[in-house]
Chain A
Amino acid sequence: MIKLRVNGIDHELDIDPETPLLWVLRDTLNLTGTKYGCGIAQCGACTVHLNGQAVRSCKTTLGQAANFDVVTIEGLSEHRDHPVQQAWIEQDVPQCGYCQSGQIMAVVALLKQKSNPTDEDIDRYITNICRCGTYPQIRRAVHEAARKWRS
């Protein structure tokens, strides 16, 4: 049995500890907001937080995550009112939307480290792929979210 805390809820799981966290979240815990895109930590669609740090859950095993506090997009806020989510809505960021859970989780982690990121910071830290090309909206929304969060 492996103990895993996700979005504040404790789970006891009888699963191979080598299983990627992504598939535990999606298939066992039915938290489908975290997405599978590449499986090799390239695209970032599977980004979640371990103790507030952004990780790619497709290359994080259940065993590695076991002692951390896991937060997924579903646990980011109660009423989609986290400043990053609000900025995402105001800037009308998502298109197909598939990568956006990961984008948002990556941005939240960035803003925890840097409350007022420069464009260069955003370029360096947000390496998630968006095939729809929502990057201009993402950039605007990150700055907007930073403003909201500081105030």
Chain B
Amino acid sequence: MTDLDRRRFLQVSITAAGGMMLSLHLPPVVANTNAGSAAGSVEVGAWLVIDPDNTVTIRVAQSEMGQGVLTSLAMIIAEELEVDWRQVRAEYADVNRHLRGGRVYGRMLTGGSSAVRHSMPYLRMAGAEARERLIKAAAESWNLAPDECYADYGRVVHRATNRSVAYGEIAAAAAQVSVAGVEIKSPRDFDLLGLPTPRLDVPSKVDGSAHYSMDVRLPGMVYAAVVHCPVIGGRLLSYRFNVVRNRPGVRQAVRLDHGVAVIADTWWQAHQAAEAMPVEWEVGDEEDFYSATEQRNFVAALDEPGIVVVNDGDAESVMDEAEKSIESDYSVPYLAHACMEPLNCTVVVHADHAEAWVGTQDPEAAVAAVAEVAGLDAAQVTLHNYLLGGGFGRRAHTDYVREATMIAQAYRGVPVQMIWSREEDSRSGRYRPMAAVRFKAGFDLGGKLIAYINHSVTHSIQQDSGGSGIVGGVDPFSIDGLTDMPYYVPNKRISHRIRNTHLTSWFWRSVGHSQNAFAMECFVDEMASAAGTDPVAFRRQYLAGRPKLREVLAELAEKARWGRAMPHGSAQGLALHESFGTICGQVAEVTVSEQGQLSVDRIVTVVDCGNLVNPMTARQQIESGIVFGLTAALYGKLTFEDGELVETNFDQYRMIKLRDMPELDTHFSLSRGDEWGGLGEPGTPPVAAAVCNALFKITKRRIRALPIADYYLRRA
């Protein structure tokens, strides 16, 4: 088969016949031991196991939270391994082995849209090494030199005679040989990477058999529900367990720093008892916390100086002398992740050992958290990772793992499944930071942009996490997308100031980009307007030194038919942003009805992430990011009144549903090279700005604070 033929064959066999299913080794309900235990299964390196029937099980060190890593990372190894994809399965790499074996799986954190970007080189090498070992083992069995043989489609072939052997037959020998100087394939020779490939985990997700950590069922397991202080940061004074202790199934209450847990035979019994139990809290000044006031305080704090991060030319003096200048302040509220699966974790603590079952984005940190709380060494902790019912950054924190361990610590020897109710999940903090961003732009007589001043005030995630990640007084995550703004201005000054409240912040899909792209790209439209230029023409002009961004912009304008006549009450708005190694441009087409009703009709997206591993999941990830960003833009806001969160459930914290969905028209414009940009997050940042820029054309009013739902919209 020529490469092209094989590529076509793969494409057909993968995309045809929906009935073809690739079964996934799911983490079993109880034990999570890696494969290799089946008779005759052989591990060829830490990353893969080959069965006698030629089934290849590939280990994936990142967590599956919907982004498709179980498929895409397996594809990378399978590409180098030269294996028939239909024989590939995927399973999680074992964090316990990872820790015992000197971090054999590189890095197990899932976040920062980094799964493919970060692990591409070593996954390719892992697949290539296994391939070369199989070739060497086969060659040795035939008394040939390895370079007389090659690997093809799950077999080692002797070039001269076409004699061949299946991987399953020589895996045991391959496990015993070592190879050096292994070379990875040239991207030109890729068969699998770049083909639209159905996800391996899909079949298990249509019949209820996929297991999330909330589905863990262990012999003798009990359940715990928690009530936290309704004012975040408040402390538990007392509780009266006597009032609920005689309820059916109720076993014990456990005192926590900021809450109290009730353990019972079923979660519903535990939850009902926890809700009914009288509790006294000690709340401090946070009782006076109003988020609406605080957001105004963030904007007011823009008047206070910050730390200068970028200082090109002389922005202040040039601004003073500018023929025309504009200034705008933007702000955003705190947001919750609202993963569909409320946070939960199952733990059993024994005297010299603890075991945890959890869906986590950071298994290493989760092991450390269990060990610390249980007073054990990491080596005494066994952790089983599960499919994640949403992550978006939230499950990279270990607060819920800690709390579950505290509860299990107080109920030793019995597995305890702690589930936070939706309300407690919402109240648990770790929010997308509140932020305010100020821009000034100065233009000369000809309307040319000559000075740019940007200052921001943001709740720092790094400060909440102990401060070690703060660099020169600035949290790098807070200024993502601001300091690296791509538009050329000779005189540019960018500064930042940290402002933290008693709330706790955390990474939320696209992190600093989520708020900064909104502010930045809305202000770019304001600058274009001040310069009397079309938004696309303005961006093109000032992106002179950024050919890839210009390319995406040009393609986007073409795909969206930018500037075409729109019906009365409808308009197009554009935004362009680079994050996580990927450029994403979007045109939103929106309508405001006579009655002021907003509908987002269509979003045209053009993405340049260099190359694609799996075009199918790539598109899904970009569109998923769009829905996430659009939800935040339209409705996203956490309100605190008297220190208490108002939006604790989906009746208040509104989510986009099918009926709210715009048509999504997503295109990839790939610049190739050896770039593999992230995809989990880059779809999110530009959406809010694209929609708000379109709304300006209809209403002639700028939206400078999110969400859009807070505005009364009227056609101008």
Residues of A within 8 A of B (CB): 16, 19-20, 23, 26-28, 30-40, 42-43, 45, 72-74, 76-77, 80, 85-86, 88-90, 92-101, 104, 122-124, 126-139
Contact = CB atoms under 8 A, between A and B. Distances in A.
Contact of B201 (A40, A86, A94, A129): A94
Interface of B: 18-19, 21, 64-68, 198-199, 201-212, 214-215, 217, 223, 248, 266-268, 338-342, 387-392, 419, 421-422, 616, 620, 623-628, 649-651, 655-659, 661, 664
Contacts of A127: 657-659
A1 B24 CA distance: 39
Given A39-B649, A45-B340, A73-B207, 15 more contacts: A20-B268, A37-B340, A43-B655, A80-B206, A89-B18, A90-B18, A93-B206, A95-B67, A96-B65, A97-B66, A97-B201, A129-B655, A132-B624, A133-B623, A135-B656
Nearest to B210: A97
A133 B651 contact: no
Contacts of A86: 18-19
A130 B199 CA distance: 18
Contacts, number: 175
Contacts of B217: 30, 32
B201 A33 contact: no
Contact of A131 (B204, B266, B340, B626): B340
Contacts of B18: 86, 89-90
A-B complex: 4 closest residue pairs judged by Cβ atoms:
A33-B208, A133-B627, A98-B389, A97-B205
Contact of B199 (A19, A26, A38, A92): A92
B589 to A, nearest CB: 16
A100 B390 CA distance: 12
B649 A38 contact: yes
6 contacts: A27-B266, A40-B649, A43-B655, A94-B205, A133-B625, A136-B661
Contacts of B656: 133, 135
Contact of B208 (A19, A74, A124, A139): A74
Given A32-B215, A37-B422, A95-B620, A42 B67 contact: no
B623 A32 contact: no
A23 B215 contact: no
A96 to B, nearest CB: 3
A17 B616 CA distance: 46
Contacts of B659: 123-124, 127
Given A88-B206, A98-B341, A123 B623 contact: no
Contacts of A128: 657
Contacts of A16: 248
Given A42-B649, A42-B650, A28 B266 contact: yes
B387 A27 contact: no
B211 A32 contact: yes
A33 B205 CA distance: 9
Contacts of B201: 94, 97
Contacts of B626: 133
Nearest to B666: A136
Contacts of A101: 208
Contacts of B267: 23, 26-27
A63 B212 CA distance: 28
Nearest to A72: B208
B339 A23 contact: no
A86 B202 CA distance: 11
B477 to A, nearest CB: 22
B426 to A, nearest CB: 10
Contacts of B223: 27
A96 B239 CA distance: 38
Given A36-B419, A133-B626, A85 B206 contact: yes
A26 B215 CA distance: 8
Given A92-B199, A96-B65, A123-B658, A131 B339 contact: yes
A134 B266 contact: no
Contacts of B664: 136
Contact of B202 (A27, A30, A76, A93): A93
Contacts of B268: 19-20, 23, 27
